[in-house]
């Protein structure tokens, strides 16, 4: 898989992809990441990529010309890239969207900045707009990091044990069950007896019950989202 990240701050990513799952994916040639400096596609000697808003208002907006040129420069012969504009107006990014992205051969992530991006980028260039949450960031670079990490660990061969990914939070629209390790008792706090029993069938049942309980307590909205898509066990 290939992910191109279009940004005015490519140096922001200088070391972040050299750790963890993303590093493993790159070393195994399962993931290629390319940083595209938007200013390289500016049309003036000052490398200007933003301008004032038509109709008045404070702040600046990223211009369409350099973004269109940057996306076009990422094109690969015979391969259709999926272009994503990272925007507060976008659809909420979640695990299901991460799975969808992981099936793509080529993603292009456009990082917004300032007061946003010229609307023609969203209307005529991007295949979709994505937001990582209802809060304000200083730029789309941080959203690009989140998406790249979430997608890379779903690529076949990146995580050592395939089941580990399938059992994580938000799979099947449920949170993960609680996990414990040694010692069995620490400062009077004990590991649930069922986990020490060696009865794998009961342990599995306990974990499923804990996933449902946690989700009901912490994220009941997920139960509504997944209603009808899960099979009762």
Residue that is written with structure tokens 């049309």 in the block: 43
Residues 139 and 186 in one domain: no
3-state DSSP of 162-231: HHHHHCCCCHHHCCCCCCCCCCCEECCEECCHHHHCCCHHHHHHHHHHHHHHHHHHHCHHHHHHCCCCCC
Q: What's the chain's average pLDDT?
A: 91
CATH code of the domain in which 213 resides: 1.10.1270.20
Cα–Cα distances in angstroms (integers) from residue 11 to residues 14, 35, 57, 147, in the given order? 5, 9, 30, 18
Residues 194 and 135 in one domain: no
Residues 45 and 92 in one domain: yes
Using pLDDT thresholds of 50, 70 and 90, give the confidence band for residue 169.
Answer: very low
Residue 180 has which token pair?
């414990």
What is the per-residue pLDDT for 58? 86
Does the global pTM surpass 0.75? yes
CATH code of the domain in which 18 resides: 3.40.1280.10
- Is 233's pLDDT higher than 80? no
Is 49 inside any structural domain?
yes
Q: Residues 18-50: pLDDT tens digits?
A: 999 999 999 999 999 999 999 999 989 999 999
Domain of residue 132 covers 2-152
Do residues 210 and 177 touch, judged by C-beta distance below 8 A?
Answer: yes
What is the per-residue pLDDT for 170? 52
3-state DSSP of 68-118: HHHHHHCCECCECCEEEEEEEEEEECCHHHHHHHHCCCEEEEEECCCCCEC
Q: Residues 194-219: pLDDT tens digits?
A: 999 999 999 999 999 999 999 999 99
Residues 118 and 9 in one domain: yes
Report the length, in residues, of the chain. Answer: 233
């Amino acid at each position: 898989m290939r992910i191109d990240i279009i940004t005015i701050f490519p140096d922001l990513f200088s070391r972040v992809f050299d750790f963890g799952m993303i590093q493993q994916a790159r070393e195994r040639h399962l993931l290629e990441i390319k940083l595209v400096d938007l200013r390289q596609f500016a049309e003036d000697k000052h490398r200007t990529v933003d301008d004032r808003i038509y109709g008045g208002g404070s702040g600046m907006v990223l211009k369409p010309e350099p973004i269109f040129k940057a996306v076009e420069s990422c094109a690969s012969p015979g391969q259709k890239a999926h272009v994503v504009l990272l925007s507060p107006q976008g659809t909420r990014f979640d695990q299901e969207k991460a799975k969808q992205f992981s099936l793509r051969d080529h993603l292009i992530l456009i990082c917004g900045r300032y007061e946003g991006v010229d609307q023609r980028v969203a209307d005529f260039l991007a295949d979709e707009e994505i937001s990582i949450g209802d809060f304000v960031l200083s730029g789309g670079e941080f959203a690009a990091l989140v998406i790249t990490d979430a997608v890379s660990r779903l690529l076949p061969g990146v995580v050592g044990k395939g089941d580990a990914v399938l059992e994580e939070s938000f799979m099947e629209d449920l949170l993960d069950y609680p996990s414990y390790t040694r010692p069995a008792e620490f400062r009077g706090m004990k590991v649930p007896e069922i986990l020490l029993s060696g009865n794998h069938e009961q342990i599995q049942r306990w974990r499923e019950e804990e996933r449902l309980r946690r989700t009901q307590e912490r994220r009941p909205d997920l139960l509504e989202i997944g209603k009808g898509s899960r099979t009762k066990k």
